[in-house]
Amino acid sequence: MKSLKKKRRIQIVAVASVALVISTALVGYAMRDGINFFRSPSQIMAEPPEPTEMFRIGGLVEEGSLKRGQGETIHFRVTDGGASVPVTYKGVLPDLFEENQGMVGTGIYDGGTFRATEILAKHDEQYMPREVVDALKEQGVYKEPSGS
Confidence category of residue 132, pLDDT binned at 50, 70, 90:
confident
Domain of 131, CATH number, reads 2.40.50.140
5 vs 10: CA distance, rounded Å? 9
The answer on 66 and 111 residing in a single domain is yes
In a domain, 97, yes or no: yes
- Give the Cβ contact number of residue 51 at 10 Å: 10
β-bridge pairing 55-61 and 102-109: antiparallel
Domain hosting 16: range is 1-35
The answer on 18 and 83 residing in a single domain is no
The answer on 46 and 23 residing in a single domain is no
In a domain, 111, yes or no: yes
Q: Residue 25 carries which side chain, given as an amino acid letter? A: A
pLDDT at residue 129, rounded to an integer: 65
The answer on 41 and 93 residing in a single domain is yes
pLDDT in tens, 99-125: 888 889 999 998 789 999 999 886 555
Residue 148, pLDDT > 50, answer no
Average pLDDT over the chain, rounded to an integer? 83
pLDDT in tens, 10-54: 999 999 999 999 999 998 888 776 666 888 898 888 888 888 888
- Give the Cβ contact number of residue 35 at 10 Å: 9
Rounded to 5 degrees, what angle do the CA atoms 100, 66, 123 make? 45
Put simply, whether the predicted model's pTM sits higher than 0.75 gets the answer no
What number of H helices and E strands is found in the chain? 3, 7
Closest CA to 89 of 111, 70, 72: 72
The answer on 113 and 50 residing in a single domain is yes
In a domain, 101, yes or no: yes
